[in-house]
């Protein structure tokens, strides 16, 4: 990961190029093959807070509810099915009563599990007040809950100015997390993580609570955020993997285990023949209810195919949020769990 890959998980799956080889094969694919690519916020101008109207994430978690909610309760919770929403509104928790502005970016804790790779990590970056730029272009084509997203892996990296909130520690993860501020010169303040880049898991069971503590720095005061861990995501449809495909003349039903995520992102990101991230038209689809089902319209599937994209990485990401009011602005922690795989377009 680069130093900027830290405010949001927009997950693009680059499945293992050698996954179809016999066990024991010594053939080695390209250096970045077989890795989930966590898109750098600096290169995409993207952060979670940019999806909130008025920059206000959901209310901070009431820690008094801790004894009333357990992982077993969450796993069996009934989720009311509601209509899908536009991708522009997909990741939009209820605004805080104070209607305070949010710092852009925030603290991110993520875990991704797939048949191809398990990876986990943490990071932080604090930018100016959140805007709606970055994740979905304002004029992007939309099809139901999905919006067009142009993948440009060779585009120049754009870095938003980072602000200082001091050292950050996270309590409750399976590995100790320490995020340290670093001077990046003209780019402001970034954060480095003490975690091993080869870490495969970080988050406890769904429903567990994490405590994120910032000691305060030159720009942002001290804060403490309690946030709930989402359940792991299990993709039940479509079947993904080497040689798996989906028709672009029919709606694609994406199904996963319903849970208690505050938002869901379903992404389809272009891959080339070597399973590397490729330029082209992809999709970002969103739902603000974790019902376990989202339909990608046939028109959206056909648009990808007609643009020249023949293979995508399909990913489902479950998100939960926590916030703290620091002065007049909210600081956000985002916890995500994801899964997915490659899918050929027919």
Residues 268-287 pLDDT 10s: 999 999 888 899 999 999 98
Q: In this structure, are residues 47 and 106 in contact, taking their beta carbons and an 8 Å threshold?
A: yes
Q: How confident is the model at residue 31 (pLDDT cuts 50, 70, 90)?
A: very low
In a domain, 268, yes or no: yes
* Mean predicted lDDT score pLDDT of the chain: 76
Amino acid 262: pLDDT: 95
Q: In this structure, are residues 175 and 195 in contact, taking their beta carbons and an 8 Å threshold?
A: yes
In a domain, 3, yes or no: no
Whole-angstrom distance, CA of residue 183 vs CA of residue 4: 13
Beta strand spans in the chain (E): 11-13, 36-38, 101-113, 118-129, 142-143, 146-151, 168-171, 177-183, 189-193, 209-214, 223-228, 235-237, 245-246, 252-256, 263-270, 280-287, 293-296, 311-326, 329-345
**Beta-bridge partners for 37:** 12
In a domain, 258, yes or no: yes
Structural domain span for residue 174: 11-345
Into how many domains does the chain fold?
1
In a domain, 75, yes or no: yes
- What is the average pLDDT across 24-41? 28
- What is the average pLDDT across 171-184? 97
In a domain, 305, yes or no: yes
Name the least confident of 47-61, 71-85, 117-131, 260-274: 47-61
**Beta-bridge partners for 171:** 211
In a domain, 2, yes or no: no
Report CA 128 to chain centroid distance, whole Å: 20
Whole-angstrom distance, CA of residue 56 vs CA of residue 331: 10
In a domain, 5, yes or no: no
In a domain, 6, yes or no: no
Three-state SS annotation for 154-212: CCCCCCCCECCCCCEEEECCCCCEEEEEEECHHHEEEEEECCCCCCCCCCCCCCCEEEE
Amino acid 74: pLDDT: 34
What is the 8-class DSSP label of residue 243? T
H helices, E strands: number in the chain: 3, 19
Q: How confident is the model at residue 130 (pLDDT cuts 50, 70, 90)?
A: low
SS3 call for 134: coil
């Amino acid at each position: 990961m680069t130093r900027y890959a830290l405010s949001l998980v927009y997950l693009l799956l680059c499945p293992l190029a050698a996954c179809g080889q016999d066990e024991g094969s010594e053939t080695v694919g390209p250096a970045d093959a077989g890795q989930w690519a966590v898109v750098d916020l600096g290169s995409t101008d993207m952060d979670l807070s940019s999806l909130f109207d008025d920059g206000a994430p959901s209310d901070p978690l009431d820690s008094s509810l801790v004894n009333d909610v357990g992982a077993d309760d969450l796993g069996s919770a009934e989720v009311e099915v509601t209509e899908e929403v536009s991708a522009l509104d997909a990741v939009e928790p209820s605004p805080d009563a104070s209607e305070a502005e949010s710092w852009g970016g925030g603290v991110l804790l993520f875990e991704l599990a797939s048949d191809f790779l398990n990876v986990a990590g943490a990071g932080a970056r604090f930018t100016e007040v959140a805007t709606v730029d970055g994740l979905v272009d304002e004029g992007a084509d939309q099809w139901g809950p999905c919006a067009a997203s142009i993948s440009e892996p060779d585009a120049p990296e754009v870095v938003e100015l980072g602000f200082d909130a001091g050292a950050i520690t996270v309590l409750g993860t399976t590995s100790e997390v320490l995020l340290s501020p670093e001077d990046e010169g003209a780019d402001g303040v970034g954060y480095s993580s003490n975690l091993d880049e080869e870490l495969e898991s970080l988050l406890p069971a769904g429903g567990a609570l994490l405590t994120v503590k910032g000691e305060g720095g030159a720009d942002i005061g001290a804060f403490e955020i309690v946030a709930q861990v989402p359940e792991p995501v299990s993709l039940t449809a479509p079947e993904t993997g080497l040689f798996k495909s989906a028709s672009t003349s029919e709606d694609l039903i994406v199904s996963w285990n319903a849970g208690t995520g505050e938002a869901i992102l379903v992404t389809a990101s272009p891959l080339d023949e070597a399973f590397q991230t490729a330029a082209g038209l992809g999709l970002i689809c969103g739902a603000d209810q974790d019902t376990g089902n989202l339909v990608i319209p046939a028109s959206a599937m056909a648009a990808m195919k007609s643009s020249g994209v023949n293979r995508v990485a399909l990913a489902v990401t479950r998100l939960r949020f926590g916030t703290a009011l620091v002065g007049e602005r909210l600081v956000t922690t985002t916890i995500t769990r994801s899964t997915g795989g490659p899918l050929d377009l027919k």
